[in-house]
Amino acid sequence: MNKLVDMQEALASARSLEELQTFVEGLRDVYSIDNLVYHSVNASGGQYAALTYSNEWVERYIDKGYERIDPVVQGCYKRFTPIDWKALDWSAKPSRDFLGESASAGLGNQGFSIPIRGPSGQFALFSVNQKDNDDRWAKFTEERVSDLILIAHYMNEKALEIEGGPNQGPVRALSPREKDALTLLALGNNRAGVAEALNISENTLRVYIESARFKMGASNTVHAVATALTHGLIVV
């Protein structure tokens, strides 16, 4: 009778990404939700999603790069608390256009999203989408949001555990000196300053930057620092 416990048990046995997809579909049915989305982006840019939207919409979304204008994605990345879609900023024209498109793709008018963060900059969104009026939606939210927050976090943990899931994408570790160099660069020092701080010649410093760049496949210093940062290889 306890949906939450049932769902947790269903999740506990999941061992593959396919099972997560099945889980999401089951969750949708058990809670009588129109659509559910779990979407994770790890620091390396690797993505994984388990969702109940139509393939057409998903393809269109990816194809058009809608994640760059979707107020849900943009709004949640800076947030830490679950948020109702109504509270987001839909005033910009691209946002309104996107809203119209999503509606024609069959998405409901109501929704909320739970931002979730993991180690090394992993970020995931767990979203609920529903076609409903404001009153019923408010009631639904009040009743279900606690359960869904818990499930969202459990699901994220599961997704991170699973081989090949959003948690993969190992980047070769940086040597201590390489970390020092990139960290000081990220802090705003130029090469001369970093070399001085590290008490090495600028030539030596360059070797570190370049070997770090090489390891991460970065095309220049800015890229290397950005990559190290998003991969959690350095902390500023």
Interface positions with DNA (CB under 7 A): 173, 175-178, 190-192, 198, 200-201, 203-204, 206-211, 213, 219-222
Which x/- pattern, by CB under 8 A, does the window 13-52 give for a copy of itself? ------------------------------x-x-------
Cα–Cα distance measured from residue 218 to residue 182, given in angstroms and rounded to the nearest whole number = 12
Angle subtended by helix axes 202-216 and 176-186, to nearest 10: 100
Q: Which two tokens stand for residue 229?
A: 């940062």
Q: How far is CA 120 from CA 95, 140, 146, 228, in A?
A: 30, 34, 26, 10
- Choice from 71, 75, 118, 165 touching a copy of itself (CB under 8 A): 118
Is 88 an interacting residue with respect to a copy of itself (CB under 8 A)? no
Instruction: Name the DSSP class of 174.
Output: P
Nearer to a copy of itself, 131 or 177 (CB): 177
Cβ neighbours around 193 below 10 Å, total: 15
Q: Which does residue 70 touch among a copy of itself, DNA, none (CB within 5 to 8 A, set by kind)?
A: none
What ranges make up the beta strands (E) of the chain? 35-41, 47-51, 83-84, 110-117, 123-130
Which of the residues 139 through 178 are near a copy of itself (CB under 8 A)? 146, 149-150, 153, 156-157, 160-161
Of the candidate spans 50-58, 101-109, 185-193, 199-207, the one that interacts with a copy of itself by CB under 8 A turns out to be 185-193
- Choice from 55, 91, 170, 188 touching a copy of itself (CB under 8 A): 188
Cα–Cα distance measured from residue 7 to residue 155, given in angstroms and rounded to the nearest whole number = 10
- Choice from 1, 12, 80, 163 touching a copy of itself (CB under 8 A): 80
Q: Which does residue 230 touch among DNA, a copy of itself, none (CB within 5 to 8 A, set by kind)?
A: a copy of itself
Which of the residues 47 through 76 are near a copy of itself (CB under 8 A)? none
Nearer to DNA, 39 or 213 (CB): 213
Which of the residues 198 through 217 are near a copy of itself (CB under 8 A)? none
The long-range contacts involving 179-182, CB below 8 angstroms and separated by at least 24 positions, are 179/228, 179/233, 179/234, 180/208, 181/205, 181/208, 181/209, 181/212, 182/209, 182/212, 182/224, 182/225, 182/228, 182/233, 182/234
Cβ neighbours around 96 below 10 Å, total: 12
Which residues sit at the interface with a copy of itself, rule CB under 8 A? 4, 43, 45, 77-81, 117-119, 121-122, 146, 149-150, 153, 156-157, 160-161, 185-190, 218-223, 225-226, 229-230, 232, 235-236
